[in-house]
């Protein structure tokens, strides 16, 4: 059995909100470690969905919802032969923050949402995710889509906390500075030695601090950062060749290899599903 007939993916993107809705089935290995810039909220429909997140092995089964913050590194696999099926919504951070202004009379200064626990068996939350997924995926009227996503966010607030946007004191300052540098230089061919010299340290100390803080080595984090940006650019209609050149991938096939390892879709297929533009 080939990878192609072990897996299937149904992905759509809501043009108004930028929310992506995905229903997928996987057997065996699903995803390499990666992260998203979005809030990810979904539920397991069938089978056992196993993934590493927050330095723990998470096992989601039917009746479990899962919630991931932007930037949380995770992977995915099916530990049982029949595989797993799940539904997930990728909620853009800016969209979430805009909606929260309507849900709450006052918001903490410089706020952001923090997920209490990755997994939940809250039936009301799962029901609200299911309703929002169907409204978005099936292209219901804007009024219905808005009502369903509002209800989902309302249910999700019971599982989230406010966290002030600030440097986390638990994370080494060296790792914070390195991460900020990578974000600022995403379009440049950054070398590890150059990065270490910029931060007045050595490559080995930098790599240890970074991996402790973020769960990935600097080079792996930079690749994932570029892949999240690639998703954004492809969804706006840029071609894979343009995106590969803009984000310092060696060529389009280089982008394609990394993109498929992270998302199980080629860049051209992802672009087509989001924009309906030809490959």
Summarize pLDDT for 168-179 with one digit per residue, the tens.
444 578 999 999
Query: Does residue 128 sit in helix, strand or coil?
Result: helix
Question: Residues of CATH 2.60.120.10 domain(s) within the chain?
Answer: 3-164
Q: What is the DSSP string of 63-106?
A: T-EEEE-TT--EEEE--STT-EEEEEEEE-HHHHHHHHHHH-SS
Q: Where in the chain is the domain with CATH 1.10.10.60?
A: 173-275
Share of the chain above pLDDT 70, in %: 91
pLDDT value at residue 223: 93
In angstroms, the CA 97 to CA 102 distance is 9
Among candidate residues 20, 50, 23, the one with its CA nearest the CA of residue 7 = 23
Question: Would you place residue 6 in the very low, low, confident or very high pLDDT band (cuts 50, 70, 90)?
Answer: confident
Task: Say whether pLDDT at 167 is over 60.
Answer: no
The CATH code of domain 173-275 reads 1.10.10.60
Look at the alpha carbons of 49, 52, 54, 59 in this order and tell me if their dihedral is positive or negative: positive
Angle, CA 38 vertex, CA 33 and CA 40 arms, to 5°: 75
Average pLDDT over residues 256-274: 93
Give me the pLDDT at residue 9, please.
Answer: 95
Mean pLDDT of 264-271: 93
Q: From residue 126, give the alpha-carbon distance in Å to each of 3, 9, 65, 148, 202.
A: 29, 21, 6, 12, 47
Asked whether the whole model's pTM tops 0.85, one would answer: no
CA distance 97 to 83: 35
Predicted confidence band at 38 (pLDDT cuts at 50, 70, 90)?
Answer: very high
Q: Residue 35: pLDDT band by 50, 70, 90 thresholds?
A: very high
Residue 236 in this model has a pLDDT that exceeds 80: yes
Mean pLDDT of 59-69: 95
**What is the C-alpha end-to-end distance of the chain, expressed in Å?**
27
Calculate mean pLDDT across residues 30-43.
Answer: 93
pLDDT, tens only, 136-166: 999 999 999 999 999 999 899 888 776 555 4
CATH superfamily of domain region 3-164: Jelly Rolls (2.60.120.10)
Q: Show Cβ contacts of residue 204 under 8 Å, excluding neighbours closer than 6 positions.
A: none
Nearest to 133, CA basis, from 235, 232, 26, 23: 23
What is the spatial distance between Cα 118 and Cα 41, in angstroms, rounded to a whole number? 10
């Amino acid at each position: 059995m080939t990878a192609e007939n072990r897996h299937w993916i149904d992905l759509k993107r809501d043009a108004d909100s930028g929310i992506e809705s995905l229903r997928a089935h996987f057997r065996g290995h699903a995803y390499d470690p990666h992260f998203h810039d979005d809030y990810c909220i979904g539920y397991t429909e069938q089978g056992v969905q196993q993934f590493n997140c927050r330095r723990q092995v998470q096992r989601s089964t039917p009746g479990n919802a899962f919630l991931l913050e932007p930037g949380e590194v995770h992977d995915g696999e099916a530990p049982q032969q029949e595989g797993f099926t799940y539904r997930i919504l990728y909620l853009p951070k800016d969209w979430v923050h805009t909606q929260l202004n309507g849900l709450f009379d006052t918001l903490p200064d410089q706020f952001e949402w923090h997920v209490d626990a990755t997994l939940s068996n809250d039936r009301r939350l799962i029901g609200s995710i299911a309703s929002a997924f169907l409204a978005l995926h099936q292209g219901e009227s804007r009024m219905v889509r808005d009502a369903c996503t509002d209800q989902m966010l309302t249910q999700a607030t019971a599982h989230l906390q406010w966290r002030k946007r600030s440097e986390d004191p638990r994370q080494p300052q060296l790792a914070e500075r390195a991460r900020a540098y990578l974000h600022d230089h995403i379009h440049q061919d950054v070398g590890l030695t150059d990065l270490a010299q910029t931060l007045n340290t050595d490559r080995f100390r930098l790599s240890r601090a970074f991996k402790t803080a973020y769960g990935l080595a600097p080079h792996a984090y930079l690749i994932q950062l570029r892949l999240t940006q690639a998703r954004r650019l492809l969804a706006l209609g840029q071609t894979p060749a343009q995106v590969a050149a803009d984000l310092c991938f060696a060529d389009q096939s280089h982008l394609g290899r990394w993109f498929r390892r992270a998302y199980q879709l080629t860049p051209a297929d992802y672009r087509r599903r989001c924009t309906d533009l030809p490959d």
